[in-house]
Amino acid sequence: MGFDKDLLLIEKYQKEVILLGRISGLLQWDTQTYMPKKAGDERADQLSYMSSMIHDKMTADEFWEAVKRLHSNSDLDDRQKRMVEILFKEISRSKKLPKEFVVEFAKEQSLSFSAWQRAREEMDADIFLPHLAKIVELKKKEIEYRGFEGHPYNVFIDDFEEGMTVEKLDLVFEKLKKGLIELLGKIKSSESYGNQKRVLAVSGFDKGKQIEFTNEIAKILGLDPEFSRLDFSEHPFSTRLGLSDARITTNIRDDPMFSIGSTIHESGHALYELGLPDEENYTVIGESPSYGMHESQSRFWENMIGLGKPFWKHFFPKAVNLFSIEDNIDLWHKEINHVFPHYIRIESDEVHYCLHIILRYELEKGLMDGSITVDNVAEKWNEKMKEYFGLDVRNAKEGFMQDVHWSGGAFGYFPSYTLGAMYACQFYSKMLLDLNDIPKKIKGGNFSNIKKWLNDNIHKEGRLYSPDNLIYKVTGEEINPDFFISYLKQKYGEIYRL
């Protein structure tokens, strides 16, 4: 009887924590979309109060004692064991953090985000740097509270990718970096690279028509306005605020593929959220197992599907009519897949993209172990941009202030993007083995088989499996960068005639 009572109790607490988290998520969504600029200070108080309430719920003695009893119970089924295992780990982590620290950090996150926005608008890094220094100071304090094994950065990597460590990532990233640099060398020495220029995918596409086009793409991919919406923010993002409430944002920039690519990317996130098991809506099992797994779904749609020629066989006629461009799909396909070094991560091509992530990974490691400081992080950033991309950074907005992540203290998040790209390639390879005529269906604008395969194999599992167990369950292999490198070599070998 006590066993059942404890299960009911932890389900009650999970629901309350998740509801509070979604209310907080709504405030954060508004902060980045429609909040008046001068409302930032009070919003910081609101968000810190919500964080305080969530922390109180997560660390409640009644909740913790029930989880501990269940954690030592041998009669749980597999789902219950996994749920309790996750809760035990997350509550243990929360209980190590004093409430005062949680409130202080949440408030600084909001203030730091506002400072980041203003620093970018005014092109003045000094507005943001004091807040970044405070964020780094608080993250180091969090490491002290929580303790760690190996590298101090492991604390935060594991938050985003369960079971992942610096020691594991160093091996994977070194192999990947070597393969990327080798491929880039071949691409840049090719005749096609020397002659490439954009003719169709250039700036000047009407903003209103881009909005119309991105909305149509999101809807055809499966984001019906009845349970989703598309808005605009400085940095595109996705969030789910309820069982039938998925929200994504995009942004219009000079490159027309930015709004298109970011919309497809964020749609991938939203489709994942909407595909998670309904019956686990208020439990930790109803979540993604990791940020890398989440990124695999966004990058699957953005790169595997959205940058492929079959996708444009369907959407290009609409683009031709809407934007009055030449009806030359072969040229369009080459142009949207052009490889060239870019200052901005989210505007980068597939090949350079992961080097952007490795750069940030190396800097974050240094910030956490003290070998890099906030005072010299811009200098270190610029040095690595020169080393990896051959680019001289012209200002902080296109340098260390380009991403929103550090303003919120999301250290450890960046590696998830590259892990997601590698997961996506393994999933894509397996899907092509399992399903027939996928390119043909995509050309016809039929994405139902793809969505069903992703839903059946990944989405519906929620967090029942750890990320390494899920990738093995679906593909029969552990994470393997060779899939990603082979995919890039084949695709760009054809485009650049290597």
299: nearest Cα among 420, 412, 181: 420
Please identify which residue in the block is written with the tokens 């040229």.
Answer: 331
Please identify which residue in the block is written with the tokens 């894509």.
Answer: 428
What are phi and psi for residue 246, nearest 5 degrees? -105, 130
User: How far is the C-alpha of 308 from the C-alpha of 313, rounded, in Å?
Assistant: 9
Cβ neighbourhood burial of 103 (10 Å; 0-12, 13-18, 19+): middle
Q: Are 223 and 250 in contact (CB under 8 A)?
A: no
User: How far is the C-alpha of 248 from the C-alpha of 246, rounded, in Å?
Assistant: 7
Question: Considering 266, 280, 287, 461, which one is annotated as catalytic?
Answer: 266
408: tokens are 């919120």
Euclidean distance between the first and the last CA atom of the chain, given in angstroms as a whole number: 68
Note if 266 is an active site residue.
yes
Tell me the residue type at 188.
K
User: How far is the C-alpha of 272 from the C-alpha of 240, rounded, in Å?
Assistant: 10
User: How far is the C-alpha of 312 from the C-alpha of 479, rounded, in Å?
Assistant: 30
Cα distances (Å, whole numbers) of residue 267 to 155, 356, 469, 481: 30, 22, 25, 25
User: How far is the C-alpha of 250 from the C-alpha of 261, rounded, in Å?
Assistant: 9
User: How far is the C-alpha of 268 from the C-alpha of 248, rounded, in Å?
Assistant: 10
Q: What is the Cα gyration radius of the chain?
A: 23
Cα distances (Å, whole numbers) of residue 107 to 91, 97, 408: 21, 15, 10
Active-site residues: which are they? 266
